[in-house]
């Protein structure tokens, strides 16, 4: 084996062994106790926190909608950076499936809000519990109090790139997660920063009747935070034009006012159809908690085969490292 490749292989094995240090631990979720073995690793993650958490694209989900929808994430695909042929056949000639989501729960508690080592904080001691009010989930004033989903995915170590990704995590590479969801604009709504006080003409071409109707459908919790809620079915064309459905993002503010789209409206649903493990997510609060993996087998096809004298690397090892290097070009430094 080439000396540089042999040295590099040794570093991969060493980093993977550091992931293996947590091999005797377990993750509990939904009544399951999940332990890693030679074929399966487990990754715990937090994502899809309710409004006022928003993505960098100006999108959000009301906490009641998350509560109504989180179970649809169970048993969906866990992939690498949304690289699925179905999503973009021209750019993605093949699927990059890492595993399957095997556990979900709501509410969970973001690592920055009282949790330790990526584990959720006690429900009784967290401000998240306060957002469950009479009649359903309420929007809180602080992002740290927003409830979100806690989930666990199994990563199949026979799958291409999984051993390398576990090694990358062990060395501290900042991976995160990003949700994949389906929504309908017609069932969604817009949040527009309020005037003080709102008056006729404050919202462009909206009539007095429109303003009155928007005020009636805006819940008190959102009104107190300075927002007016406009269901998509009542939105003027100028407001609808602020959202690009192809890119799923707000592209401009409505009349200069901060504008957010809430997928699923105030109490509807979205459908989660997967989660991507990615170097750069769209939701700041999304995070990976624990990653549990036992030691990789010495004969794992991704790491080569080694005898007493070191043996020779298999083609899979070279190809795997080449793919990792290709992906690294898009990773943030």
| Co-location of 141 and 234 in the same domain | no
Q: Kindly give, in sequence order, each residue whose CB lies less than 8 Å from that of residue 66, ignoring residues fewer than 6 positions away.
A: 48, 49, 50, 106, 137, 147, 148, 149
| Co-location of 122 and 219 in the same domain | no
Question: How is residue 232 annotated by DSSP?
Answer: G
Residue 141 lies in a domain: yes
Q: What is the pLDDT of residues 67-80, one digit of tens each?
A: 999 999 999 999 99
The CATH number covering residue 95 comes to 3.20.16
Split at pLDDT 50, 70, 90, the class of 309 is very low
Q: Is 188's pLDDT higher than 70?
A: yes
Out of 7-21, 67-81, 106-120, 123-137, least confident range: 7-21
- φ, ψ of residue 103 to 5 degrees: the values are -155, 140
How far is CA 60 from its chain centroid?
12
- Chosen domain end from 230, 262, 294: 262
* Higher per-residue confidence, 13 vs 162: 162
| Co-location of 146 and 204 in the same domain | no
Q: Is 59's pLDDT higher than 50?
A: yes
How large is the average pLDDT for residues 25-41?
93
| Co-location of 90 and 208 in the same domain | no
Cα 48 from Cα 54, distance rounded (Å): 9
Cα 243 from Cα 59, distance rounded (Å): 9
Contact 283, 53 (CB under 8 A): yes
| Co-location of 62 and 169 in the same domain | yes
| Co-location of 131 and 233 in the same domain | no
Q: What residues make up the domain containing 199?
A: 187-262
Residue 333 lies in a domain: no
> Kindly report the CA angle at 322 between 161 and 314, in degrees rounded to 5?
75
Residue 48 lies in a domain: yes
Number of domains into which the chain is organized? 2
| Co-location of 102 and 245 in the same domain | no
How large is the average pLDDT for residues 281-303?
75
pLDDT at 198: 52
Q: What is the pLDDT of residues 291-300, one digit of tens each?
A: 999 865 444 4
Structure tokens at 115: 């949790």
Q: Is 213's pLDDT higher than 70?
A: yes
| Co-location of 245 and 279 in the same domain | no
- Chosen domain end from 240, 262, 284: 262
Average pLDDT for the chain: 79
| pTM for this entry | 0.78
Residue 116 lies in a domain: yes
- Chosen domain end from 224, 241, 262: 262
First-to-last alpha carbon distance for the chain, in angstroms, is 30
DSSP string, 4-15: HHHHHHHHHHHH
Q: Is 23's pLDDT higher than 90?
A: no
Question: How is residue 194 annotated by DSSP?
Answer: P
How large is the average pLDDT for residues 30-59?
95
CA dihedral 137, 139, 143, 147 (to 10 degrees): 10
How large is the average pLDDT for residues 192-211?
66
Q: Is 193's pLDDT higher than 90?
A: yes
E strands present in 35-193: 40-47, 59-60, 77-80, 97-108, 132-133, 136-137, 148-156, 176-182, 189-193
How large is the average pLDDT for residues 196-209?
58
Residue 274 lies in a domain: yes
Angular region, 2: left φ>0, alpha ψ -120 to 50, beta rest: beta
| Co-location of 69 and 172 in the same domain | yes
| Co-location of 224 and 109 in the same domain | no
* Higher per-residue confidence, 47 vs 205: 47
How large is the average pLDDT for residues 45-50?
96
Residue 164 lies in a domain: yes
* Higher per-residue confidence, 117 vs 217: 217
Out of 130-134, 178-182, 246-250, least confident range: 130-134
| Co-location of 203 and 279 in the same domain | no
pLDDT at 91: 86
Split at pLDDT 50, 70, 90, the class of 205 is low
Residue 14 lies in a domain: yes
| Co-location of 78 and 203 in the same domain | no
Split at pLDDT 50, 70, 90, the class of 222 is very high
């Amino acid at each position: 084996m080439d000396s540089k490749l042999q040295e590099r292989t040794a570093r991969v094995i060493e980093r993977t062994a550091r992931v293996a240090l947590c091999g005797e631990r377990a993750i509990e979720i939904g009544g399951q106790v999940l332990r890693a073995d030679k074929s399966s690793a487990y990754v715990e993650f937090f994502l899809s926190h309710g409004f006022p958490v928003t993505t960098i694209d100006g999108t959000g989900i009301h906490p009641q909608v998350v509560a109504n929808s989180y179970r649809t994430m169970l048993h969906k695909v866990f992939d690498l950076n949304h690289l699925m042929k179905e999503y973009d056949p021209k750019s993605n000639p093949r699927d990059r499936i890492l595993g399957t989501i095997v556990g979900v729960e709501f509410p969970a508690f973001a690592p920055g809000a009282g949790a330790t080592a990526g584990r959720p904080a006690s429900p009784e001691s967290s401000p998240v519990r306060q957002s469950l009010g009479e009649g359903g989930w309420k929007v809180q004033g602080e992002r740290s109090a927003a409830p979100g989903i806690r989930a666990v995915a199994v990563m199949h170590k026979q799958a291409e790139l999984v051993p390398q990704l576990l090694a990358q995590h062990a060395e501290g590479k900042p991976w995160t997660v990003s949700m994949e969801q389906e929504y309908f604009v017609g069932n969604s709504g817009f949040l527009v920063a309020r005037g003080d006080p709102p008056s006729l003409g404050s919202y462009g071409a909206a009539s007095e009747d429109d303003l009155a109707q928007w005020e009636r459908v805006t819940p008190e919790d959102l009104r107190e935070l300075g927002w007016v809620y406009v269901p998509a079915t009542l939105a003027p064309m100028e407001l609808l034009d602020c959202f690009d459905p192809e890119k799923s993002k707000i592209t401009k503010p409505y009349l200069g006012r901060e504008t957010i789209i809430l997928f699923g409206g105030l109490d509807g649903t979205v459908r989660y159809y997967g989660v991507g493990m990615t170097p750069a997510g769209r939701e700041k609060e999304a995070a990976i908690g624990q990653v549990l993996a036992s030691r990789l087998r010495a004969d794992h096809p991704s790491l080569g085969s080694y005898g007493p004298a070191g043996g020779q690397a298999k083609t899979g090892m070279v190809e795997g490292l080449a793919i990792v290097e290709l992906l690294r070009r898009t990773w943030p430094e």
